[in-house]
Amino acid sequence: MAVAAWAVCVLSLAGLFGQAFVGNSGVDWEGLGWAVAWCGFPIAGAVIVSRRPQNHVGLAMVGTGVALGIGDTSRALVTHNYLATHHHSALTQIALNINNWVYAPAYLLIIMVPLLFPQGRFTRRWRIVAWALAVDLVLLVFLMATRARLSVPGNDRSVPNPFRWTVGERLQGLVPVLTLALVLSGIAAVVWSAVRYWRSRGIERLQRKWVAFTVLSAVAVFAAALIAGTDTSAGGVLSLAALTIGISGTGAAITTAVFRHHLYDIDRLVSRTVSYAVLTALLAGVYVGLVTLATKELSVKTSLGVAAATLAAAALFNPLRLRVQRTVDRRFNRARYDVGRVVDAFAAHVRDAVSLETVRGELANTVQNTMEPAHVSVWIA
């Protein structure tokens, strides 16, 4: 199973990255960016399959990578041959036919990932839905592969389908219905994942928190890209970063959750991310405000105003970081905040204590309250 998973993963990566180099017009940088964003997904799936074969999340992730690799390769072949050279070989016609339906299985497999996570199997309720979606997908692929004409990617025109079939032509009215069913199932999967997160407790909640943190981080980066403007260089870099975090980062978060590796670090990671994001925004606001005040209102030279603003931001960094970190920990990392309060109280009591028995009692109480061991004893040399 492990060898097969890694072999399929390598094939999917070859398809994802290979499509960027098809043709004579050079590297397709947009396609290469999508490959970078998606490459972590099949890799994470192969890792899960090789080490947790009973967890079917890995199979869904590897399958998604394969479908996307085939789809991107077929799309690149079609774009190069139909739009560049107008050479309609049999291989190109097959690639065009595949390109018209291969993304539907990829979409369905992506839907399956949140439904399978984290246990790696469907509940009884979702097992029936999964079979219904599989039947929906088979019918949709059949109708899209046997329609009379095929749409050419990157172009508004269509070409005759050499694989058309009369039955497929007559039932084309079902395609919008079957497609709508897949779209609604995707929305339902997202809503169900959110509901499961709020209902979960203990280990499962930590597992889902890893994925939720990654997805929300990608949304935040994408929002920054929209503010910067997706047509600018900064906005383009941020958009690619958002895709990479949202797709490959989600794959890495799922792998971490399935293996339960550093699972309890998520609260610390969330608090650090939020605190440094808030700190960066505050310092940027202070810097811009001081520069504007010094150069526009006080008529100070620009170089002096920038230098003064930089020194002020540097002086505020550490005090502001401590204050922001304490506030954020109170909300996102409550365990660390409570432990810090207990330790601070212990230090305050010990500072004025003169009796060894008092120090020993305070130390035992602090260890008991923070670590909750089965037994506490203090040995004094």
Q: How many Cβ atoms sit within 10 Å of the Cβ of residue 250?
A: 24
CA distance 348 to 354: 13
What pLDDT score does 62 carry? Answer: 92
Q: What pLDDT sits at residue 381?
A: 65
pLDDT at 301: 64
Place 336 in a pLDDT band, splitting at 50, 70 and 90. low
Q: Which residue has the higher pLDDT, 235 or 143?
A: 143
Is 291 exposed, middle or buried (CB count within 10 Å of its CB: 0-12, 13-18, 19+)? Answer: buried
Kindly list the domain boundaries of the chain, sorted by start residue.
Answer: 2-192, 200-261, 265-332, 333-381
Mean pLDDT of 15-26: 73
Residue 373 in 3-state DSSP?
A: coil
**What are the pLDDT digits (tens) for 290-322?**
777 777 766 666 677 777 778 887 888 888 888
pLDDT of 128 over the 60 cut: yes
Residues 99-114: tens digit of each pLDDT: 889 999 999 999 999 8
* Amino acid 8: pLDDT: 87
Local confidence band at 354 (pLDDT 50, 70, 90 cut-offs): low
Mean pLDDT of 238-245: 86
Least confident of 61-75, 170-184, 356-370: 356-370
Please tell me the predicted confidence (pLDDT) of residue 109.
92
For residues 135 and 178, what is the distance between their CA atoms, to the nearest angstrom? 10
pLDDT tens for each residue of 255-264: 998 988 877 7
Closest CA to 333 of 275, 271, 380: 271
Which of 65, 79, 64, 90 shows the shortest CA–CA distance to 19? 79
pLDDT computed for residue 142 by the predictor: 93
Q: What's residue 172's pLDDT?
A: 87
DSSP for 149-193, please give it: EEEPTTSS-EEE-TT--HHHHHTGGGHHHHHHHHHHHHHHHHHHH
115-119, 133-137, 293-297, 335-339: segment of lowest average pLDDT: 335-339
pLDDT band (50, 70, 90) for residue 353: low
* Tokens 């992730």 sit on residue: 61
**Mean pLDDT, rounded, of the chain:** 81
Show Cβ contacts of residue 64 under 8 Å, excluding neighbours closer than 6 positions: 41, 42, 45, 106, 109, 110, 113
Among the listed residues 280, 349, 351, the one whose alpha carbon sits nearest the alpha carbon of residue 317? 280
pLDDT of residue 138: 93
pLDDT of residue 60: 92
Q: Apex CA 49: angle with CA 15 and CA 68, to 5°?
A: 25
195-220 pLDDT tens trace:
988 888 888 888 998 888 888 888 88
260: left (phi over 0), alpha (psi -120 to 50) or beta: left
Residues of the chain with pLDDT > 90: what percent? 14
Report the C-alpha gap between 367 and 107 in whole angstroms: 51
Q: Which pLDDT score, from 0 to 100, does residue 291 have? A: 76
Above 60 in pLDDT, residue 84?
A: no
Tell me the β-bridge partners of 151: 158
Q: Angle at which helices 356-371 and 334-351 pack, to 10 degrees? A: 180
Quick one: residue 23, left, alpha or beta (phi over 0 = left, psi -120 to 50 = alpha)?
left
DSSP string over 28-57: -HHHHHHHHHHTHHHHHHHHHHHH-TT-TH
